[in-house]
Amino acid sequence: MKKHILLDFDETICDTRGFNSETCFESVKKHYPEVKRQEVYDMQHIVRGRTLVDIYAYIIKNAANIEPEEAFVQQLVLESMEYQNENLHKVPLFEGIKLFLEKLTRSGKYVSLITNRDKDTLIKILDNHNITKYFDNIISCIDLQRLKPDPVAFEIVMDKDVKLKREIERENYIYIGDSDVDKRFAQNAGIDYMIIDQYVNDYLMFKNITNIFA
């Protein structure tokens, strides 16, 4: 039985696909008004899970057929972060996640969040939904400057468990995410993983798996 459940954030517990895609479109459209919404959506989906710098560099390279300068990509990242901060209240949780977290907590399990999203917007979204309290650790890999699939974030979680004498073996951790980046992160950490797709499961994955872990 797993004792410590590690979760990804975007498209795993929070339905950010449309929000992130629209953010990309609005940011890119300001500079390339001819770009098509669905074209940006599709490209953003291909590189989801990567850093914003990587995402915008990929989109501009493919949409405008140019190799974007680093300074311009950084400008797009800042513009997208401003747009997101103004619209974070629009980001919904997937159905069943609150009950999932509540049951895990009541059953004595530990829950941590490990994501490549920046911690500032992450905490704001969690606070908006009143679920920050359920997480033993909230780790932004981008703030650590050690992005997934680098497993350093897991080592931080495990080190804390050791210091608190929780006696959790590596096989009693599991990481739940939605992308190949998440799979490789878990593999690099040497822990089990579950890769889910909320969008082909009617957004109900956590309603369906709650009893497995709690």
- Interval 183-196: pLDDT, tens: 999 999 999 999 99
Identify whether residues 81 and 180 lie together within a single domain: no
Q: Name all contacts of 71-80 with Cβ < 8 Å and 24+ positions apart.
A: 76/27, 76/28, 76/31, 77/52, 77/53, 79/27, 79/30, 80/23, 80/24, 80/26, 80/27, 80/52, 80/56
pLDDT at 204 (0 to 100): 83
Identify whether residues 179 and 202 lie together within a single domain: yes
Examine the fold and report which residue of 90, 111, 144 is the final residue of a domain before the chain moves on.
90
Identify whether residues 21 and 11 lie together within a single domain: no
Note down the domain range covering 66: 17-90
pLDDT at 147 (0 to 100): 93
pLDDT at 75 (0 to 100): 95
Identify whether residues 78 and 121 lie together within a single domain: no
pLDDT at 198 (0 to 100): 92
Q: What is the pLDDT of residues 103-137, one digit of tens each?
A: 999 999 999 999 999 999 999 999 999 999 999 99
**Exposure pattern of 171-196 as b/e (b: 16+ CB <10 Å)?**
ebbbbbbbbebbbbbbeebebbbbeb
Identify whether residues 178 and 98 lie together within a single domain: yes
SS3 call for 93: strand
- Which residues in the chain come in under a pLDDT of 50? none
Contact criterion met (CB below 8 Å) for 57 and 81: no
Identify whether residues 75 and 96 lie together within a single domain: no
Per the DSSP assignment, residues forming a β-bridge with 14 are 10, 93
Domain count, the chain: 2
pTM beyond 0.85, yes or no: yes
pLDDT at 106 (0 to 100): 95
pLDDT at 177 (0 to 100): 97
Tokens of 155: 């080592």
Angle at 120 between CA 113 and CA 162, to 5 degrees: 35
| CA proximity to 173, closest of 151, 156, 158 | 158
